[in-house]
Amino acid sequence: MIALRTHALGDVPVARGFWKRAIGLLVTTDPERLFLLIPKCGSIHTFGMRTAIDVIFLTKGNAIAAIYHAVRPLRFCVGPKDAFSVLELPPGFAADHELAVNDLVSFSGQPRR
């Protein structure tokens, strides 16, 4: 039996549409704003990023499938085959909040665009 922990992340912007997904966090430098959920996505790149980010691949049920810590600019990350979405977070966030594979992630509030 696997014990799952749930982490509530609150209000996280969602990248919907071509331009929001293409730009992502490229123009963001404020660490407080380095949060983004990209639905229906199995890989990301950090080309053009100005800072490292934590990359979390989520399954369709919002379980953590993989965690990449402090991914530096000019990198490419591919999630596991069950990855359904990607959560981009400030560097160190995953470790600071003790996120682990198989933990569940929940979002509260209305999705921000």
Q: Which CATH superfamily is domain 6-27+35-106 in?
A: Protein of unknown function DUF192 (2.60.120.1140)
pLDDT in tens, 50-81: 889 999 999 999 999 999 999 999 999 999 99
* Residue boundaries of the structural domains of the chain: 6-27+35-106
**Residue 11 class from Cβ within 10 Å (0-12 exposed, 13-18 middle, 19+ buried)?**
exposed
Q: Rounded to 5 degrees, what are φ and ψ at 95?
A: -70, -45
CB-hemisphere CA count at 13 Å for 57?
17
pLDDT in tens, the chain (113 residues): 334 466 566 677 888 877 676 667 666 666 666 788 999 999 998 888 888 999 999 999 999 999 999 999 999 999 999 999 999 999 999 999 899 999 998 876 544 44
The span from the CA of 77 to the CA of 68, in Å, is 8
DSSP letter for 37, please: E
Q: Reduced to 3 states, what is the DSSP secondary structure of residue 95? A: helix
